Structure 1
Amino acid sequence: ELGADRQPGQPLLAPRPVFEAADARDNGSLTLEVYASLRSPYTAIAFDNAIALARDSGVTLSLRPVLPMVMRGAPMTREKGMYIFLDTAREARAAGVRFGKFYDPIGEPVRRCYSLYPWAVEQGRGVELMSSFLRHAFAEGVNTNSDAGLRKVVEAAGLNWAEAQQHLGKPGWEPLLEENRLAMYTAGLWGVPSFRLLDENGAEVLSLWGQDRLWRVAREIQRLRPAS
């Protein structure tokens, strides 16, 4: 449309790197920090793959949710917002990931779900709650601002809705997300999804941003894996 690619049928000048986690094995000495937001389209299409990478490679997963940028006061024009959604759709198609039937969860839906996050972590389902919310909001078009919509999210995460209602809307989750934001900024990262790979001593060996950088994380895990 912009005339930037006048021969779309030609091979790419720089082919998209292949994401392969099968050969990237670790004994748990490495830690993968995943910085994610419940309102990030880019996070939505990378989240499950990032979690699967940690699981399949044997590294220790540290999920570090943060508040969406626009809910932290970052400016967002309509044009930028449209670009992000269109670009995410393109990335999702290339990666074979479901995306596009979305119901924007900005504001109260995000806060309500985050209010459940500490409880979900106690139940061992924090990852599942975030995965379910992202899927329902960005791939299934569920209105997560309604109790009916949030109930679908909660129950799909393997959690009890009646028990969830006892924690819904309660404060106390904010300091955790602020701590994660500060850690992300300290690492020189600014947006989500971002990833940090740490060695057994907690020292950073890799930090990067972007849903299309998981291949780089997988290769670094493979490079650092213990000799068999």
Structure 2
Amino acid sequence: MTLSADLYFSFRSPYSYLAIGRYRAMARQYAVDIALRPVYPLAIRQPDFFERNHPNWLRYTFLDMARVAQFHGIPFGAPRPDPIVQDVATRRIAPDQPYIRRITRLGQAAARRGAGLVFAHEAGQLIWGGAENWHEGDHLATAAARAGLDLAELDREVADEPETLDAEIAANLQALEDAGHWGVPTLVFDGEPFFGQDRIEMAQWRMEQKGLAER
């Protein structure tokens, strides 16, 4: 029996990146299909989020995400460029967001083809793994190819159907909220949300209770 789960994911979320490879490994080893459900990050959904956070929040987050990466042996570096265009000094989010909109729509196009999990991991390794100018050259084309996808085809879909893809991305967010959470990464299995990269083992434990077996 193959189980199924949904993974709600943001390409701007460092913790989503720190979870995606481990979920990909789980889906490779065990009989579970994990469908990627991309959502736009809080910077798009709540542009004032960073301005109203405690001053220590950002410093602690940077410290923690680097140590999580080190603990799990995951390559990690600051995105170059950041998927979100943001004033570092004021934390204000720019109204024009070309990077995050393209990559999230590409992720949704990949999800339509059943390859969202793999594409998000491959693209995430570019964004958060230290690739400079990950949005240029053949970086994303190579990542898409590793996921069995054609970037040119995905980009055509993004250009032709931006509103439809955004509607699907909005539906992903609504499904996440309906499942009982709002943040990413969140895996929803059998109606139960598991939020955070530190809940992967617990999600697997729950799946094992429901008959999770190796492939």
Normalization by structure 1: what TM-score? 0.74
2:61 is the counterpart of 1:69 = no
User: Residue 111 and residue 43 in structure 1: after superposition, are their counterparts in 2 closer, same or farther (change >3 A)?
Assistant: same
Per residue, is there more helix in 1 or in 2? 2
The 8 Å contact of residues 186 and 196 in structure 2, kept in 1 or not, is answered as yes
Deviations 1:148-196 (A, max 9, x none): 5443443443333443442344412111111111111122212100111
The Cα of 1:140 is off from its aligned counterpart by: 2.6
Relative to structure 1, the CA distance from residue 145 to residue 82 in structure 2 (aligned partners, 3 Å threshold; closer, same or farther) is: farther
Q: Does the C-alpha gap of structure 1 residues 226 and 120 become closer, same or farther in structure 2, counting only changes over 3 Å?
A: closer
What is the TM-score when the length of structure 2 is the normalising length? 0.78
Are 1:46 and 2:56 matched, yes or no? no
2: CA distance between counterparts of 1:151 and 1:65? Answer: 19
CA RMSD of aligned residues (A): 2.5
User: Is the Cα–Cα contact under 8 Å of residues 108 and 116 in structure 2 kept in the other structure?
Assistant: yes
CA distance in 2, matches of 1:223, 1:150: 38
* Selected match of 1:84 from 54, 61, 64: 61
Q: Which has the larger radius of gyration?
A: 1
Does structure 1 retain, via aligned residues, the 8 Å contact 2:36–2:111?
A: no
Structure 1 contact 35–66 (Cα < 8 Å) conserved: yes
Match of 1:98 among 69, 75, 79: 75
**Matching residue of 2:136:** 146
Query: Is 1:210 matched up with 2:183?
Result: no
Provide closer, same or farther for how the CA distance between residues 165 and 210 of structure 1 changes in structure 2, counting only shifts above 3 A: closer
What are the Cα deviations for residues 64-107 of structure 1, in whole angstroms up to 9, with x where unaligned?
A: 11111111125114753343232111111112211125321123
Query: Aligned with 1:176: secondary structure?
Result: helix
Corresponding pairs, count: 194
Q: Does 1:115 align with 2:97?
A: no
Task: Judge which range, 143-152 or 49-58, deviates more.
Answer: 143-152
1:192 aligned counterpart, secondary structure: coil
- The residue type equivalent to 2:83 in the other structure is P
Q: Structure 1: any 5+ residue segments left out of the alignment? A: 1-26, 199-203
Q: In the alignment, what sits opposite 1:32?
A: 5
**Unpaired runs of at least 5, structure 2:** 85-96
% same residue: 30
* Alignment partners' CA distance in 2, 1:134 and 1:167: 20
Counterparts in 2 of 1:226 and 1:70: CA distance versus 1, 3 Å: closer
